[in-house]
Amino acid sequence: MNDQPQGVDLNNTLIDGPVQPQERIEVLDVIRGFALLGILIVNMAYFSYPLMYLEILGREMWTAAWDKAVFAVINLFVEGKFYSMFSFLFGLGFVIFIERARARSSRPTLLFYRRLFILLLIGLVHAFFIWFGDILVSYALLGLLLPLFFNRKPKTILIWIAVFFFIAVLPVVLMVLSTGLLDEAGYAAYMQEFFAVMESKVDNSLYAYSQGTFAELMAQRVEDTLFTYNYFFFVAPLIFPMFLLGLYVGKRGVFQNIEANLPSIKRIWKWSFIIGFTMSIVKYTSKLQIDPAAASLYDLINMGARVFADPGLSIFYMTSIVLLYQNRQWMERLKPLAYVGRMALSNYLFQSLVCTTIFYSYGLGLYGQVGHAAGMVLTIIIFTAQIFISRYWLERYRFGPMEWVWRTLTYGKLSGMKLRSR
């Protein structure tokens, strides 16, 4: 394992251009590949039926026992945990990008902003032309703030992490406190009208994505994308502190010298499980008590638990992989994930292309027909295929296809794609 920080790519698919295989920290590719699996598990429901609107209504489309069981497991152990993981890797990669960019540019921050601008363009194309559930736009916009924290002391970064998590909870606190101050009749009328709009969105989505014309499908996708942007300021305080946590770990050089940091990693592994698992139970059970028509204490408990649950289990999963990777047998078992992780941007977009083709009317038109249990089977099939495709690709090419595009546009010059024959 390379202990030198120079040239080590900690997040090439989300921040910097790919580097040579011998320069990589492979366990981070494994973590990134594992994150992509979790993201596909969660996104499968959003690909396959109008879960976004049904959650607002407090309704569920699939009521069979196996579907409810799978959905419960996803809510408890997967939902929210893997975007937290990717967010952490984003911040971690930012540190390495700046350190490497200083060696090749007198204006490394400007190069970083150029990188983010290209990511923003990729995200906008993804959101408006492929799938409304894009996360790249949010990453690109929030990433603009990272240079403000690069030269801060580690303790200051930790304080800001706590501040942003508090900001995430604050809107719910205000919403709960203001409930008794609202005109009950007027609020009830507003909510009735709002729910009627959500019901129409459910019906429109089911029609447009399953059997609508391409124009109708595009219109629905634009509407859904713009709707998700209404919640940007609610999710941003949950994403950005994980950026900062990755920045903090990057500045401490934890992954450049894992062996020396193993005692600390083991302690973090234990406490992240205790906190993350406990708060995930609280988050899940409180969510079951929430009334979508009126804010209550359960909303506050749910959001407060989420602040600890999602980062907690995310950190537990990452530290578990790091610890398992110290064993050679486990290293071989986990290694297939690294193929997917080395070209994570390409694989993230590939998941959207495949799933929208399966569920949307221009493909198989299965939207609204696949429950959570069948969706899990489909997830395993798609991700397994990604492992084999990624391995095949990386045995022949230096970069994933979208990684190559991103690198080329960032540095303004073509990079050789093919591996040299040995």
For every residue of 115-152, DSSP letters joined together read HHHHHHHHHHHHHHHT-TT--HHHHHHHHTTGGGGTTS
37: amino acid identity, one letter: L
DSSP 52: H
Enumerate the β-bridge partners of residue 418.
397
Phi and psi torsions of 397, nearest 5°? -130, 150
Distance of CA 23 to the CA centre of its chain: 25
SS3 418: strand
pLDDT digits (tens, 9 = 90+) for 322-371: 999 999 999 999 999 999 999 999 999 999 999 999 999 999 999 999 99
Q: Taking each helix axis from N to C terminus, what angle separates 258-289 and 65-77, rounded to the nearest 10 degrees?
A: 130
User: pLDDT in tens for each of the 422 residues of the chain?
Assistant: 333 333 333 334 333 334 444 446 889 999 999 999 999 999 999 999 999 999 999 999 999 999 999 999 999 999 999 999 999 999 998 988 888 887 777 788 999 999 999 999 999 999 999 999 999 999 999 999 999 999 999 999 999 999 999 999 999 898 888 876 666 778 788 889 999 999 999 999 999 999 999 999 999 999 999 999 999 999 999 999 999 999 999 999 899 889 999 999 999 999 999 999 999 999 999 999 988 888 889 999 999 999 999 999 999 999 999 999 999 999 999 999 999 999 999 999 999 999 999 999 999 999 999 999 999 999 999 999 999 999 999 999 999 999 999 989 988 888 778 876 54
- Residue owning tokens 């975007």: 83
Structure tokens at 111: 């190069």
d(CA 133, CA 383): 18
Q: Check if the beta carbon of residue 263 is closer than 8 Å to that of residue 254.
A: no
Q: How far apart are CA 283 and CA 75, in angstroms?
A: 9
Element holding 323 (H helix, E strand): helix 297-324
Residues 282/305, Cβ–Cβ less than 8 Å: yes
> Do the beta carbons of residue 85 and residue 272 sit within 8 Å?
no
- Spatial contact of 123 and 134, defined as CB atoms under 8 Å apart: yes
Cα–Cα–Cα angle for 80, 246, 85, rounded to 5 degrees = 25
**What backbone phi and psi angles, to 5 degrees, belong to 418?**
-75, 145
Q: Give the integer Cα–Cα distance in Å for 349 and 345.
A: 6
Token pair for 381: 């099939």
Residue 101: which residues within 8 A CB-CB, separation 6 or more? Answer: 108, 111, 112
Distances (CA, A) of 247 to 160, 188, 221, 276, 333: 12, 45, 34, 21, 29
Question: Do 248 and 149 meet the contact criterion of CB atoms below 8 Å apart?
Answer: no
